[in-house]
Every structure is written in C-alpha cells, then in structure tokens.
Structure 1
C-alpha cells in the first residue's frame, strides 16, 4: 500500500497524549511495542506512544498507558 502521502502531513501530526511530533516507527520502536518488524506505524518523538496504520490510515487515537 502506498503510504507516501503520510510524509506530506507528518510535520503536522502530533501525539494526542504528549503533543510531541510523530515520526515513522523504526525497528527498535516496533520491537519495544511488541509489533512485527515489517509493520508500518507512527510513534511520538520519544517512541513511548505507538500509532498503527490501518488500511493506509494512521490511527491517531489517544491510548491508555
């Protein structure tokens, strides 16, 4: 699935919990959150919050700790 459109909006995306900027999840972020190594997702700047991409749409809902 083509997710390049997210790059255009990524500078405006913020974590709904911490208000930190979001970035693409890297391998260590995925591992920390118990996710598959090939999953595409976003995380907040410090990597503490995880936001999956479901059918090409980032799910930016607040999460419970």
Structure 2
C-alpha cells in the first residue's frame, strides 16, 4: 500500500493528546508500544503515543493511541 501521501500532510499532523508534531514510528517505537517492528504507524515527537495506520489511513483518535 502506498503511504507516501502521508509525507505531504505529516508537517500538519499533531497528537490529539499532547499537540506535539507526529513523525513516522521507528522500529524501536513500535516494539516499545507492543507492535511488530515492520508495522507502519505515526508517533508523537517524544515517542510517548503511537497512532496506527489502518488500511492506509492514520487513526488519530485519542482513544486509539497506544501508550
């Protein structure tokens, strides 16, 4: 699945909890939050909350964030 479109919007995405900018999750971010290292997700700048990507769409709902 082509997720390159997310890069165009990433500078405007913010965490609904902390209002920090979001970035692509690194493998260590994913593992820390209990997700497989190869999964695609977005994470807060400080790595505290992870937002999954479901069928090509980032799920930026507060209740979906993995702490």
TM-score class, shorter-chain normalisation, is: over 0.9
Which runs of 5 or more residues in structure 1 are unaligned? Answer: none
Q: Which runs of 5+ in 2 are unaligned?
A: none
Question: Does residue 43 of structure 1 match 2:43?
Answer: yes
Structure 1 segments of 4+ aligned residues over 6 angstroms from their partners: none
Paired positions, count: 65
Secondary structure of residue in 2 paired with 1:30:
helix
- CA-based RMSD of the aligned residues comes to 1.2
TM-score for both structures, normalised by structure 1 = 0.95
Matches of 1:59 and 1:38, distance apart in 2: 17
Question: Who is 1:56 aligned against?
Answer: 56
* Aligned mates of 1:41, 1:27 — CA distance in 2: 10
Render the CA deviation track for 1:9-60: whole Å, top value 9, x for unaligned. Answer: 0000000000000000001100100100110000000000010000000000
TM-score (norm 2): 0.92
